Structure formats: structure tokens, C-alpha cells
Structure 1
Amino acid sequence: MTAIRAAVLRAPGRPPAIEQVELAAPRDSEIVVRIEAAGVCHSDYHYMTGDLTAPLPLVLGHEGAGIVEELGPRASGRIRVGDRVALLWRPRCGVCEACVSGNPVLCELGKVQAATGGLPDGTSRLSLPVDSGGAADGTALHHLMGVSCFAEKVVVNENAAVVVPDGVPPEVAAISACAVITGVGAVLNVVEFAAGRPLLVIGAGGVGLSAVMGAALTGAHPVIVVDVDDRKLELARELGAAIAINGRETDATAAVLAATGGRGVDWAIEAIGRPATLRQALDCTAAGGAVVAVGLGSADTEFAVPLNQLVQRQKRVIGSLYGSSNPPIDLPRIFQLYLAGRLPIDRLLGERLPLDEVAAAYEHLVSGAVGRGILVP
């Protein structure tokens, strides 16, 4: 066992606290990673509030990067000690129907991790000290999405790690493995024939701004962004948006339709996860167009779809998890595009805080912080 410090969530509605945690040695094809940077993602906040549920208590964090310090006894050799890696929050068994059909983000091991709060084998490498006042036996502690990177070190399956090339900073690597691959991936993997066609992004957080970068990369035009924060809209312009609309100050649907000559956009990416903004995206979409939903809401959130828009105007609503990506292939592509200057991912980076200020980082996120916050253990 190795003693580490980590952000532990004991119950919904209570802020996470930095506690002393015990980390077991890696088994089989697992690796130990010393965390260099972890992104402050809204998904963790859903677990903090209880909008999404997971076995508790758990160590938070699913968007991280670090340096490999130890290999399990059956590691493949693909990853070596000293490698810098980005961590993936979707497992990849390689043999289930989703994996072999080219849709590994729906790997069946995702259900195992969600139900058990463990790694892909369903067991945990984390424990609370016996006198910590945790679970009934004083030892049970769970992983979040198989990662739990709001910690000094993690144990993950080697399939949950992608080697980061030289020249990519750890902060960029961390957010690339969640926010960036989700937003850019939604454009590269779901949107079709974007060049020269109008594309709308609703929500200018980390994922929405990543979608803007992806849209600019593919030549969509005009790229239109809707948000309620002028600071985020200004950053969206810097990243490639041609039109930025403050939905608090104007009728965003009318403004989008006016910007497209009344036609609407061919593609709309909703990066918030609210029924009202999903409906807004659909209303902004042209006949034959599509809404790509990438934002998460609470587990019971429902979205009412106007049937006649689907039928008479042949509109579509498409869900996209993790950018509908194949991370071992798509994430290295994203790193190369960053190194080539085609994806200015570093422009997404917001404030940097020590791990001890995890609660403050989420207060800033909820109050509208611009850019992706980074925790540095």
C-alpha cells in the first residue's frame, strides 16, 4: 500500500475533502501514474450534487495526465515507466460487440465500472484508513469512471492510458482526454460535410469551445456560438467562431435564423445538457439538419421532441458520448494537430489551483469561470 492524498466525496451535497488514502499495487495489466494535471470537469459536479450517482465514498476526477511510475506483472509493454500518459474514462476490452464493431466508447466494461465503482475487473485499488470514519468497515473506497485522478497517484488499467508525445504539456494532455476529444470528436466523427456550411454550438464551456475548434478545423462556416457569458463568447471568437450570440440579451433562435438567411444551420451541437437548449438547437436547425447532443444532465432529464419537425422537416437528434471517438486512435491525432498549431488547446486552459483547493475550483466552475480549470496535485 502507498499513502497518497486524494479528493474524497463521501455524500452528495457535501464538498469533497482532501484525505489520506491508501493505494494498492497494480495488478495484471495495470499501471501506476503520478498525476501532473487534472481537469475540472462539470461531470464530477453532477456526482457531487447527486444528479448522477456512483458507489460512495469515491475519489473524484476523470480528466487527467501524468507520468507512469510502475507496471503491473502482466503489462503488455506498450506503455513504459517514465512515459507521460493521458487517462481515458471509458474502458476498452477489445472483444465485446461495441469494441469489435468500432464503437469502443460503449464497451460493456463501462457498465462494470459504473456499477462497482471499481476498475474494469470490478475491484478497487483504493481504501480509506480504518480510523477515517468512512464506510462501515472503514476501508471501502471507489474509483470514479476507472480513473479518480484528483489524487497524487492513480492505478488504472493500461487500456485507459494513451502515451503523450513530447511537446504536449500535461495540462493540455489532461483536458484533451475528456473535454477536447468530446467536443472536437463530435465534429470530426459525427458531423458530415461541414465545410462551407453553418454550424451552431450552444454552450461555450470546455466541451463547447472544443467543438468550436473542431468546426473551425473542418471549415464549417459560419461557426455560430450561443452562451450567456460575454467572456466565454469572446474566447469562442478567438477560437474560430464567426458569430457569437448572448442568449441572455437576445432571442438566440431568431438571431441564428437571421444569421443564416432564415434557413437555419445544418448542424447544431448542444454542449450544456438542458432540455430548453436542446429544443433551441432543434429550432435552429435547417430541414434535413441534425442536433448532436453531447452535454449531460441529471439521470432523469427528458427532452420533448416536436414530432412534426422530425417528420416533415426530416431533422435528426444524435447522441454522442466521448465524441463518438476511438480514443487510442483519435487522441494521438488530436495531439498531432495541437503540435502542428491546428488546434490551440492551450487557449482553453483556465486557472491552475493546488489539489487542496478542489472545492474552490468547483465553486469557480459553477459561478462561470472561463476556460478549463486545472488541479495540480
Structure 2
Amino acid sequence: MPYEVQGVIARGKGQKVTVETVHVPDPGPGEAVVGVRACGVCHTDLHYREGGIGDDFPFLLGHEAAGVVEAVGEGVSGLEPGDFVILNWRAVCGQCRACLRGRPQYCFATHNAEQKMTLADGTELAPALGIGAFIEKTLVAAGQCTKVSAEAPAAVAGLLGCGVMAGIGAAINTGGVTRGDTVAVIGCGGVGDAAILGSSLAGAAKIIAVDVDDRKLEWARDFGATHTVNSTATDPVEAVRSLTGGFGADVVVEAVGRPETYKQAFYARDLAGTVVLVGVPTPDMRLELPLLDVFGRGGALKSSWYGDCLPSRDFPMLIDLFLQNRLPLDRFVSEEIALDQVEEAFAKMHRGEVLRSVVVL
């Protein structure tokens, strides 16, 4: 039977979020209802609230989540009630040109639940990244559920659903960081620190963290940064070059998503080096670079969506590394909060006081 549960709603651009009753239908063909156990407060949710990702208000926020499957619809295989899952927004189709070429991490036809969750008055909700997980139970496509070990705490596991996976994947999957590389990471919030952690896991010889906040730079050291640069006091491009023999870093991860920091990343890389943009820009932003510099410096300029991850491959592997005490994912959890504290968590995130606030249900 359908469910009546509480969820966090963004009703309009810039408006404070509210906790409201949401109608969640029974799962249809290819769908699942998941009882959410924990959901991280990601900057992307704030982008939704601020109108930076479309204007399909009202939004049901939250997407960085883990929980337990409660019901599945017709035709679902390999997933059943009781399974502990991380929700993902890359439910690969298996049929598009990327999937058929053996590159499902670039699937062009990822899918969501067909049915809509609604407010009490019948207003349809747009779930953040097709998930909507600041809620007691959510409806998703079965392919958005990735089974992992239930030994992992939900507050930790859910972080792989977006930000931590985005950062680790930006370094390893997109940037191709490998042993002996020099890496610079610009922006040391949750995603940037995850990129630092991923670079360390991959064996990078030198990892340079760049930020404007000394507190964040200390966090970066905890995740494996070997050097830190406060860009309010030092030119970050010159600092990275001086720390790399004058050449620049092999890989620079831009985890801010602004034109000025992207330019820093571009000029802080070595010739034929790689820039990875994983920070999320807003629609109004524009970038201008001398085309001759783009040509003359060679290398690769890449964007990283979701860390170019394949959830079915990457989530279980990373959870296993955590359970083996080889990947300190728990360090990203700054605090555990309730549903009605999401607005306050946005403010803390904006002030740089937390890596991740996690809603625990």
C-alpha cells in the first residue's frame, strides 16, 4: 500500500526548505521503495534550492543516501526486500551506445522511477538527481540501488552516493592518478578531500591542497595532502609550480566550479598534464582562455560526472576497503542530524564549518 512519510521540500528559488508530508506510491515495474537510513547534505542539494539546477519546483531534496529495500515492483531481479543499498544516480541502461561499447560508466540513458512522489495535495515532486532521499522512504528505479555490505554504517555508506565517490573517482577514474604522480587539488571541501584521499590511495607521490581556509587545509592533511597552500596569501599557480620543480602538477583537480579557480588549475598543471573539473558551476558562469595556451600546453581538459564511476563496480569495492580499515570514509561525517535540521546544515556548509552533515533516520 502507498506510504505517507515526511520529506524535505524546496518550494521555490532561495526559499528555506520545509519538512512536509509526501505520498510515496507502491513500486511499479522496475521500481523499488527504499527505507532511507541516512543521507548526506551535499552542495548539489543547495544548488537545487537556489535554482542552479533547473526550476522544476517543488524539489524533494537529498540524494547521497543508503538504506534498506522495503518493496520491489514487477520484473525486478537481483534485488529484494531487506537488501542494504547505496542509492546512485547512474542506473545504467545496458542498451545505449556507451553501454554497448563497454563503457557503462558513461551511460547516456540512465533512468529513474516512472511514477511520481507527490505532496499531500497531489503536487508532483521533482526528486534531486532522480532520487529524493531527505525522506523516510523514497521511490527509485531498481537500477539505482547498489547492494553493499550491511556491516558499513549507513551514515558512512551513503556518502559514496555522490560527493565522496565524485572526488575519489575524479582523481582515479577521470584523472588517472597513479603511483609517483604529483597532484594538486583546488578546493578542499568534501569532494576535494575525497580527491586527495583517492590520490593517496592511488600512490601519488606529492599531493598539494589549495584552499582559502586554513581549517579546510588541516582537514586536507588528514586525508593525505603532503603540502598545503592558502591562496589568499600565496599565488596558487606559483606555489604549485615551486613545489613541483617549476613544472606544475601531473593532475590538477578543480573541486570548486568557478572560472577563476579553473584558470588556476589550467596554469598549475605540467605540460601535457590533466585538469579535471569536478566542482559544479552555475548556468551563468563563462570561461575565457587564450586558445593558443590551450593548444600549446597540450594534455587533457576533462570534466568528471560522478567521478566517472560505475556504481556496481566501485561502491562495493570502496565499502570493502573501508571495512578493512584501508579507506577512512568515516572521517567525512562531521555531524549527524535530523530531517528538520537540513536548512541549518546548509548554513554550516556555506560557512565551511563541516565536511558533511548527515541526516540519520
Number of equivalenced pairs: 360
Deviation at 1:199, TM superposition (A): 0.4
Decide whether the 8 Å contact of 1:91 with 1:105 is kept in 2: no
C-alpha spacing 1:364/1:65, structure 2 compared with 1 (3 Å): same
Q: Could you say which residue in structure 2 is the equivalent of 1:260?
A: 244
Tell me, yes or no, if structure 1 residue 316 matches structure 2 residue 303: no
| TM-score (normalised: structure 1) | 0.91
Q: Distance in 2 between matches of 1:108 and 1:191?
A: 21
After superposition, residues 149-228 of structure 1 pair within 5 angstroms as 149-192=133-176, 194-228=178-212
Tell me, yes or no, if structure 1 residue 340 matches structure 2 residue 324: yes
Decide whether the 8 Å contact of 1:310 with 1:316 is kept in 2: no
Decide whether the 8 Å contact of 2:23 with 2:118 is kept in 1: yes
Q: Distance in 1 between matches of 2:73 and 2:314?
A: 26
Deviation at 1:102, TM superposition (A): 3.7
Decide whether the 8 Å contact of 1:2 with 1:23 is kept in 2: yes
Q: Could you say which residue in structure 2 is the equivalent of 1:108?
A: 108
Tell me, yes or no, if structure 1 residue 129 matches structure 2 residue 117: no
Decide whether the 8 Å contact of 2:62 with 2:128 is kept in 1: yes
Letter in 1 for 2:47: H
Q: Distance in 1 between matches of 2:101 and 2:188?
A: 32
Deviation at 1:355, TM superposition (A): 0.5
SS at match of 2:28: coil
Letter in 2 for 1:169: P
C-alpha spacing 1:103/1:300, structure 2 compared with 1 (3 Å): farther
Letter in 2 for 1:301: M
After superposition, residues 243-282 of structure 1 pair within 5 angstroms as 243-282=227-266
Q: Which deviations, in whole Å up to 9, do the C-alpha atoms of 1:166-216 show, x marking residues without a partner?
A: 321101111012112111112221223631121011111111111111100
After superposition, residues 1-377 of structure 1 pair within 5 angstroms as 1-76=2-77, 78-110=78-110, 119-121=112-114, 123-124=115-116, 126-130=117-121, 138-192=122-176, 194-377=178-361
Decide whether the 8 Å contact of 1:63 with 1:89 is kept in 2: no
Deviation at 1:80, TM superposition (A): 2.0
Q: Distance in 2 between matches of 1:364 and 1:352?
A: 13
Letter in 2 for 1:99: C
* % same residue: 38
Deviation at 1:73, TM superposition (A): 2.5
Q: Which deviations, in whole Å up to 9, do the C-alpha atoms of 1:126-149 show, x marking residues without a partner?
A: 11112xxxxxxx432222222100
Gaps of 5+ in 2: none
Q: Distance in 2 between matches of 1:89 and 1:70?
A: 19
C-alpha spacing 1:54/1:87, structure 2 compared with 1 (3 Å): farther
| Root-mean-square deviation (Å) | 1.6
Q: Distance in 2 between matches of 1:193 and 1:280?
A: 19
Q: Which deviations, in whole Å up to 9, do the C-alpha atoms of 1:60-114 show, x marking residues without a partner?
A: 11110111111212221x122111110002232111112223443543335xx6x
Q: Which deviations, in whole Å up to 9, do the C-alpha atoms of 1:216-271 show, x marking residues without a partner?
A: 01111210010111121111111111001111222221211111121110110001
Decide whether the 8 Å contact of 1:29 with 1:74 is kept in 2: yes
SS at match of 2:129: coil
Decide whether the 8 Å contact of 2:348 with 2:354 is kept in 1: no
Q: Distance in 2 between matches of 1:193 and 1:52?
A: 30
C-alpha spacing 1:159/1:340, structure 2 compared with 1 (3 Å): same
Deviation at 1:341, TM superposition (A): 2.1
| TM-score (normalised: structure 2) | 0.95
Letter in 2 for 1:109: A
Decide whether the 8 Å contact of 1:91 with 1:160 is kept in 2: yes
SS at match of 1:282: helix
SS at match of 2:302: strand
Deviation at 1:54, TM superposition (A): 4.3
Decide whether the 8 Å contact of 1:267 with 1:290 is kept in 2: yes
